[in-house]
Structure 1
């Protein structure tokens, strides 16, 4: 049974010989079905081959023999025997294949050609989207095109169940690699006490929410983390609140230990050597800033993907969720929930940690200790659900300005961590230079008593 010659350009998109070899091998050895590695009827180019494959698998699954005669009888009872060329073609399939020894390779060829056909079909869909008038913008079309082509990697992929003994071997190998430092476990924040609390730092595929009331220093903290990481990793900051020049000023202040107010107004003569040092230090950092305002989730995705493609991307910082726009949801809480879900999906897709800043409601101000809790996240409880890590930046001195012991004292309150303990990390906030450092010495006395760290990481701090 030969393929039609009307469309010779399609010949490269299928392999008649490989499809016949798979079917013939299964007719000769039903046990070979365990070696076809997720091959499905849809992977076959020819309709008659799809039909024969389906009947063979159906018989094998039913624990019945699948040979030339049994497959023919089943097809004949369904009135479809002639559709596949009758008993003669089934016999030809079995005779053409000497054995099922190489069936895994034949199946791989069939799947590979199926992927080529899917790629061609996706390309046609993309061309149709481009040429057909619609309200979609170019960026939306590009994103859909990337999604279509990206999904093709899963064609023919099937995960099989694994016994715990098999998984344990792989797990122990990973533990050994981490023990010897031969594999990346997390991306350090550059603040040792915070890294210890986060089991090494930020993990790829995670959505990390950094939240706080206004002026608590959440932007300063995330910028500091990004600058620290950019010595060894590629970092992109999408700043919807501050201009790129303001971010540069903060970077110069932090790295050169220069008062931010001096940089933004009139600098002292003695600060110029520090600025020179800051410029040189920042020149070697792989830290990029985009200050486009009111980004949509689609624009965030496009910018992150483009940056990863052009420059590599290991960490994405979004400042902040509340300034994002767009989406089909009418209620603001639903919009914020859609943004957090989208950022979590982006983290997994690009295999990077995504740090998203968020605002808190005023509810914490009604509590005696003023410390925020998860329910204080503004606009949406979905943020709490989607995030892998939720950290609050809290500075007690903002509520007790007359307490000199609290000067510069800050806490990072870890209130959610999927794979780690919760707790409070004490830090020193040097507001003049917008920099966070380690807190040394005893914890200060708060209005309601001494600062208390949560059980779980206190011993490590």
Structure 2
């Protein structure tokens, strides 16, 4: 007897009648196989039903008839006829089938009961995780439990191929809606030129890597973009493993209030600064911009906190500052650890359907080139970052390498060196360091010591 039979309420976890109706329907009409909608042998509760279903599917797939006699002979040749009750049981199943017309509904019942059994199994496994002594932390157990529940959604689900004509309908509807509404498909960064280069901004499910050498302003850029996004009414979570939350708040006040950060930190504000500070406090107070400055977060920490934040407050964009400061994982080599983090963040972006922006460091190789501009191979610690990312943006400030050139004061570039769904480009920006703020660059591009700064558009499409 199956363990489920030990419980009086267990009948709700399977339906022998529905399973028999599916088998009988297939024995009477082999063409009904097209109406099973992903039903598999594993969805049947009874072992003999799984065997019969598999044999029917095997015969039909081989373009051979599958009726009571042919299925019995096939099972007999494999030594399984007695296992399923022989010819008598096959004949009874076929004769007692109500109708082949409703086989899709019978199959749905079988799949539904399989899902209930899987849910009960997952519940037992979760209880075992909680009650069995182990070295696992509570957060790790919760994450495993969430994974078990997430896997339930895959039971009985099978994606079927669709004709392109059918797939075009929702795409055209989206294009038409965007055309008439004028709303871009992505989440606006608040910088129009950057949005244009990214096909409307940041896109759900994407992993965006923002990288640069130290002091280039990558944290300032991502924080600035996060504030812009939150100011537009969206929810942003910043995992800051490098800076304390008080430092992030001070930068945000300087950014929003147009106040010099040094004056703010030293408490040396001018009379004209106080109204701007008051406005900044009011502006930031209305934002859904959250900061978590826990140091050396593990991938599990990032995932667990992001999921909890989305449940409680909603979550549109997650910023992780930065990959190199994350910890944990089973990999021994640092390059493998970083690769595991980038893969995990990409999976999290898809799972939560949000853009995840992660910061990364660059090696010194770019400093050996005449133009000092970084390339993808400069990403530090792991080539997996380049592979996992949908978008890679390098923050580059030529004035750091040519400080005596007054034309370069404040000039910065967002170098888009990977753009899975668009062209590569160099986006010129104005960096107001005292305010830790990036803005549109206006006017002619400055001259660099090695030649003019050329704004490149449409270098290539990385598809």
TM-score, with structure 2 as normaliser = 0.95
Structure 1, unmatched stretches of 5+, are none
CA separation in 2, counterparts of 1:389 and 1:93? 57
The 8 Å contact of residues 260 and 433 in structure 1, kept in 2 or not, is answered as: yes
Query: Partner of 1:38 in structure 2?
Result: 38
Q: How is 1:97-176 mapped onto 2 (pairs within 5 angstroms)?
A: 97-176=97-176
SS in 1 for 2:272: helix
Cα 1:91–1:182 shift into 2, 3 Å: farther
What is the aligned residue count?
456
Q: How is 1:26-425 mapped onto 2 (pairs within 5 angstroms)?
A: 26-181=26-181, 185-230=185-230, 231-266=232-267, 267-425=269-427
1:426-455 CA-partner distances (Å, limit 9, x unpaired)? 111111111111111111111122210123
Q: Tell me by how many angstroms 1:254 deviates.
A: 1.0
Q: Tell me by how many angstroms 1:387 deviates.
A: 0.8
Q: Superposition RMSD on alpha carbons, in Å?
A: 1.8
Cα 1:445–1:106 shift into 2, 3 Å: same
1:382-414 CA-partner distances (Å, limit 9, x unpaired)? 111111111011111111111111111111111
The 8 Å contact of residues 111 and 156 in structure 1, kept in 2 or not, is answered as: yes
The 8 Å contact of residues 28 and 99 in structure 1, kept in 2 or not, is answered as: no
Q: Tell me by how many angstroms 1:283 deviates.
A: 1.6
SS in 2 for 1:151: helix
Cα 1:78–1:366 shift into 2, 3 Å: closer
Which shows bigger deviation, 358-367 or 291-300?
A: 358-367
The 8 Å contact of residues 205 and 350 in structure 1, kept in 2 or not, is answered as: yes
1:150-171 CA-partner distances (Å, limit 9, x unpaired)? 0110111112222333333343
SS in 2 for 1:416: strand
Q: Tell me by how many angstroms 1:313 deviates.
A: 1.2
Q: Tell me by how many angstroms 1:173 deviates.
A: 3.0
SS in 2 for 1:125: helix
Query: Partner of 2:451 in structure 1?
Result: 449
The 8 Å contact of residues 197 and 457 in structure 1, kept in 2 or not, is answered as: no
Cα 1:51–1:300 shift into 2, 3 Å: same
CA separation in 2, counterparts of 1:80 and 1:365? 72
Q: Which runs of 4+ in 1 moved over 4 A?
A: 3-6
TM-score, with structure 1 as normaliser = 0.95
Q: Tell me by how many angstroms 1:4 deviates.
A: 9.7
Q: Tell me by how many angstroms 1:66 deviates.
A: 1.3
Which shows bigger deviation, 5-14 or 240-249?
A: 5-14
CA separation in 1, counterparts of 2:99 and 2:32? 10
Q: Tell me by how many angstroms 1:89 deviates.
A: 2.1
Cα 1:417–1:6 shift into 2, 3 Å: closer
Structure 2, unmatched stretches of 5+, are none
Cα 1:183–1:5 shift into 2, 3 Å: farther
Q: Tell me by how many angstroms 1:123 deviates.
A: 1.1
CA separation in 2, counterparts of 1:4 and 1:116? 12
Cα 1:184–1:95 shift into 2, 3 Å: farther
Which shows bigger deviation, 31-40 or 128-137?
A: 128-137
Q: Tell me by how many angstroms 1:457 deviates.
A: 7.7
Which shows bigger deviation, 184-193 or 165-174?
A: 165-174
Q: Tell me by how many angstroms 1:175 deviates.
A: 2.6
SS in 1 for 2:49: helix
Q: Tell me by how many angstroms 1:95 deviates.
A: 2.0
Q: Tell me by how many angstroms 1:297 deviates.
A: 1.0
Q: Tell me by how many angstroms 1:284 deviates.
A: 1.7
1:283-331 CA-partner distances (Å, limit 9, x unpaired)? 2211110000001111111111111122111111000111111112222
Q: Tell me by how many angstroms 1:184 deviates.
A: 6.8
CA separation in 2, counterparts of 1:205 and 1:77? 51
